[in-house]
């Protein structure tokens, strides 16, 4: 039974009990939280690894760096923070020879980021078009909507959010340039939709905002680069956990872990294995774990979350 005693943060950690149960951090272990955010998961992990453990937090957002100072002041273990993209931060830690026992990813944006209206992540507030998790990064939402060719915007809406009306929304965005605020973008999206799609469940701009945010923050490229790094550096017996919020993220995690768990890649028609590859991973959450009805009722933002965890074979537990 996992007891949840985290301090109040603005971001409620999703699937927190499941993360702790499945990664099972032990006293003295080293944990990397690649998406520190409000530090909700980190605090629980820190409690588990205790005084002899080390927790390394990573986040590209300076607001997370501020939060880290508060969490570190109360944590029992050694704490360290890297403000960087998780792919480059992991490469730095590999170069230092860090060999973690647990690596956690909790993809996407935090509630702190969504609720900071001035950062432009939300279609519910009128704000400058920004959406950068790292405010020092070069590309902003304003640049995407005002500078990208119409075809590239449409492609992003299709690829990153399955937007059926990608072409007409992209056309309207280009016609309405220059766009400077989130409200102007919401209006352009509405105009680009057929009347039947303007009203219905949820805000019709939701998918466009998701797609532009993913493009601005190179979210999928970062995941593709970081998963192999995290897996390589993990100690034998180490656990890799990832929480996804949409199918583009989850598909990557699922495939990545399934490939490591499969081992042999020979075509099924071959009578004997020729590749000689052995499984490197044991899947601990086949199919993934989703929030319980209780968590959904308490934290509706957890609705689309799915947790996958795998153990790297080769430790004492094989
Ligand atoms: C869903 S929140 C994590 C919340 C955290 N687990 C908690 O309990 O408070 C995701 C965080 O990851 C960060 N992030 C997303 N992609 C990142 C990347 N490629 N590199 C570094 N940080 C990233 C975001 O800035 C955000 O703070």
Burial class (CB in 10 A: 0-12, 13-18, 19+), 128: middle
- Residue 317 Cα to ligand 1 midpoint, Å, equals 30
**In this model, does residue 2 exceed pLDDT 50?**
no
Q: Is the CB of 288 under 6 A from ligand 1?
A: no
H helix intervals, the chain:
16-23, 40-49, 62-74, 86-96, 111-115, 141-147, 150-161, 166-175, 182-192, 195-198, 206-216, 219-233, 247-262, 293-298
Query: What's the confidence (pLDDT) of residue 194?
Result: 86
**Ligand 1 atom showing the smallest separation from residue 11 Cα:** 9
Specify the long-range contacts of residues 112-115, CB closer than 8 Å, at least 24 apart: 112/9, 112/10, 112/11, 112/37, 112/38, 112/63, 112/64, 112/67, 113/61, 113/63, 115/10
With a 6 Å cutoff on the Cβ, whether 299 touches ligand 1 is no
Q: Is the CB of 60 under 6 A from ligand 1?
A: yes
Report the 10 Å Cβ neighbour count for 52: 12
**Domain boundaries along the sequence of the chain:** 16-112+219-312, 138-216
Percent of the chain with pLDDT over 70: 95
Q: Establish whether residue 213 lines the binding site of ligand 1, counting it when its CB lies within 6 angstroms of any ligand atom.
A: no
pLDDT digits (tens, 9 = 90+) for 77-134: 999 999 999 999 999 999 999 999 999 999 999 999 999 999 999 999 999 999 999 9
- For range 22-47, the mean pLDDT: 98
pLDDT at 8 over 70: no
**Distance from residue 37's CA to the centre of ligand 1 (Å):** 5
pLDDT at 118: 93
Model confidence at 279, pLDDT cuts 50, 70, 90, reads very high
**Span from the CA of 262 to the centroid of ligand 1 (angstroms):** 29
Provide the pLDDT for residue 199.
73
Does the domain spanning 16-112+219-312 belong to CATH 3.20.20.140?
Answer: no
Atom 12, ligand 1: residue with shortest CA distance: 35
Whether the ω angle into residue 178 lies within 30 degrees of 0, i.e. cis, is: yes
Ligand 1 pocket, mutate which of 15, 16, 59, 227 (most atoms under 8 A from CB): 59
The answer to whether the CB of 102 falls within 8 A of the CB of 238 is yes
Reported as a single tens digit per residue, the pLDDT across 204-229 is 999 999 999 999 999 999 999 999 99
Phi, psi of 104 (to 5 degrees): -120, 135
- Compute the mean pLDDT over every residue in the chain, rounded to the nearest whole number: 93
DSSP 8-state code for residue 235: P
Helices 150-161, 166-175: inter-axial angle, 10-degree rounding: 140
Same fold, 16-112+219-312 and 138-216: no
pLDDT at 300 over 80: yes
Q: What backbone phi and psi angles, to 5 degrees, belong to 62?
A: -60, -25
- Indicate whether residue 153 lines ligand 1 (CB < 6 A): no
Q: For tokens 């774990």, name the residue.
A: 289
The CATH number, out of the four listed (3.30.1330.40, 1.10.150.170, 2.40.50.100, 3.40.50.1220), of the domain defined by the range 138-216: 1.10.150.170
pLDDT band at residue 7 using 50, 70 and 90 as cut-offs: very low
Name residue, tokens 């005693």. Answer: 5
> Ligand 1: which residue has its CA nearest to atom 3?
37
pLDDT digits 0-9 by tens, 41-76: 999 999 999 999 999 999 999 999 999 999 999 999
Q: Are the C-beta atoms of 34 and 104 separated by less than 8 Å?
A: yes
User: Is the distance from the beta carbon of residue 57 to the nearest atom of ligand 1 less than 6 Å?
Assistant: no
Q: Is the pLDDT of residue 1 over 60?
A: no
43 Cα: distance to centroid of ligand 1 (angstroms): 15
**pLDDT at residue 29 is higher than 90:** yes
Cβ-Cβ contacts under 8 Å for 317 (sequence gap 6 or more): 237, 311
Of ligand 1's listed atoms, the one at least distance from the Cα of 245 is 1
């Amino acid at each position: 039974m996992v007891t949840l005693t985290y301090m109040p943060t603005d971001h409620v950690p999703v699937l927190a009990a499941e993360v702790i149960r499945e990664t099972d951090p032990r006293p003295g272990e080293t944990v990397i939280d690649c998406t520190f955010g409000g530090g909700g998961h980190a605090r629980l992990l820190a409690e588990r690894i205790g005084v002899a453990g080390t927790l390394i937090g990573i986040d590209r957002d300076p607001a997370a760096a501020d939060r880290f100072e508060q969490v570190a002041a109360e944590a029992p273990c050694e704490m360290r923070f890297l403000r960087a993209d998780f792919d480059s931060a992991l490469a730095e830690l590999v170069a230092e020879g860090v060999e973690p026992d647990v690596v956690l990813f909790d993809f996407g944006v935090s509630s702190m980021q969504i609720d900071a209206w001035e950062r432009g992540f939300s279609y519910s507030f009128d704000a400058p078009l920004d959406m950068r998790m790292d405010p020092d990064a070069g590309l902003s939402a304003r640049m995407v909507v005002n500078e990208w060719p119409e075809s590239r915007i449409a492609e992003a809406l299709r690829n990153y959010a399955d937007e059926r009306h990608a072409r007409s929304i992209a056309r309207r965005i280009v016609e309405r340039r220059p766009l400077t605020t989130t409200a102007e973008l919401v209006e352009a999206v509405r105009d680009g939709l057929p009347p039947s799609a303007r009203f219905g469940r949820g805000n019709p701009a939701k998918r466009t905002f998701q797609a532009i945010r993913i493009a601005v923050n190179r979210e999928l490229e970062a995941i593709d680069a970081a998963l192999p790094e995290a897996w390589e550096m993990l100690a034998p017996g180490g656990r890799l956990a990832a929480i996804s919020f949409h199918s583009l993220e989850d598909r990557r995690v699922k495939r990545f872990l399934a490939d490591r768990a499969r081992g042999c890649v020979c075509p099924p028609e071959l009578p004997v294995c020729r590749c000689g590859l052995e499984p490197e991973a044991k899947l601990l959450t086949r199919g993934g774990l989703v929030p319980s009805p209780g968590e959904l009722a308490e934290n509706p933002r957890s609705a689309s979350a799915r947790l996958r965890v795998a153990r790297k074979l080769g430790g004492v537990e094989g």
